[in-house]
Amino acid sequence: MHAHHDATAPAAETISFDDFLKVDIRVGTIVSAESFPEARKPALKLLIDFGPAIGRKKSSAQITENHSAADLVGRQVMAVVNFPPRQIGPVMSEVLTLGFPDEAGKVVLAAPTIAVPDGGRLF
């Protein structure tokens, strides 16, 4: 497990508010989710709709322990939308879907507690 995913790790180094603003985190709705047998670690291929300005983006997420593909469609999630795309096996992952580790270190997706318009930016 990576140190930055560990609940006992201390806070990261201090950054400025301007540094925070460089990370563009948006909310979107998952429009499709399918298994990703080619991945080295079990993962799901997600297509997420971030509204009219950003549109639909693909993401690969290692979330299979706590989330099934069928349950994810229609759910809102949060993702970093301004990283460069990364090739993950046959999938070009365009956004980084965000989550927190459960007690076993497996991902639980981060989401707003009440439905909000897709494309809204975290602040």
**pLDDT tens for residues 6-65?**
788 899 999 999 999 999 999 999 999 998 777 677 889 999 999 999 999 999 988 888
Amino acid in position 40:
R
- Cβ-Cβ contacts under 8 Å for 120 (sequence gap 6 or more): 26, 27, 51
pTM of the model: 0.90
Burial class of residue 88, CB neighbours in 10 A (0-12, 13-18, 19+): buried
